[in-house]
Amino acid sequence: MRIAVLNGPNLNLLGVREPSVYGATTLAEVEAQLTDLGRELGVDVECVQSNGEGALVDIVHGLRGRAHGAIVNAGAYSHTSLALRDALVGCELPFVEVHITNIYAREPERRHSMLAQSAIGVVVGLGTQGYGLALRGLVLALNARGVKT
């Protein structure tokens, strides 16, 4: 099983800026932890970050038929990007949406996700640990759909 981990705009700043909001763990550390967890679970993990909406759409297109599922933190595009939802749905890529912060406890413009209605599940507000929880949940959900690890 191959799982993609997609991070959107500004998440390359994780652990570098605003640690009081997003924590002190860097994106490279999160990706390394997910790769290790993937090994433990018997799945290949491929991590990508982009600041561009179109670039994220292109990345999803490139995953069609290659990845069985994805973990997606689309950053601020989560709240605006119908294009990204269309790509995920159009490429038939099952995904779990992740937010490091509890978007429902933040400003009104962050309280709606364009992606959530098409996600298998959503993990919010648990910090960067949420990525690992999402990976475990996604693998279980894909196993239940008959995808072998």
Using the minimum distance from each CB to ligand CA2, give the nearer residue, 113 or 139: 113
Binding mask 65-94 vs ligand CA2 (x if CB under 6 A, - otherwise)? --------x-xx-x----------------
What DSSP string describes 30-67? HHHHHHHHHHHHT-EEEEEE-S-HHHHHHHHHHHTTT-
Contact 24, 15 (CB under 8 A): yes
Tokens 């910090």 belong to 127
Q: Which of residues 91-120 bind ligand CA2 (CB under 6 A)?
A: 99-101, 103, 110
What's at 108, amino acid-wise?
P
Among 1, 4, 5, 11, binds ligand CA2 (CB under 6 A): 11
Using the minimum distance from each CB to ligand CA2, give the nearer residue, 39 or 111: 111
Could you give the C-alpha distances from 57 to 30, 87, 121, 123, in angstroms and in order? 22, 6, 20, 22
- Catalytically active residues, by annotation: 22, 99
Taking the complex as a whole, the smallest distance from the CB of residue 35 to ligand CA2 amounts, in Å, to 19
User: d(Cα 86, Cα 83) in Å, to the nearest integer?
Assistant: 5
**Under rule CB under 6 A, residue 132 binds ligand CA2:** no
Chain residues in the site for ligand CA2 (CB under 6 A): 10-11, 13-14, 17-18, 22, 73, 75-76, 78, 99-101, 103, 110
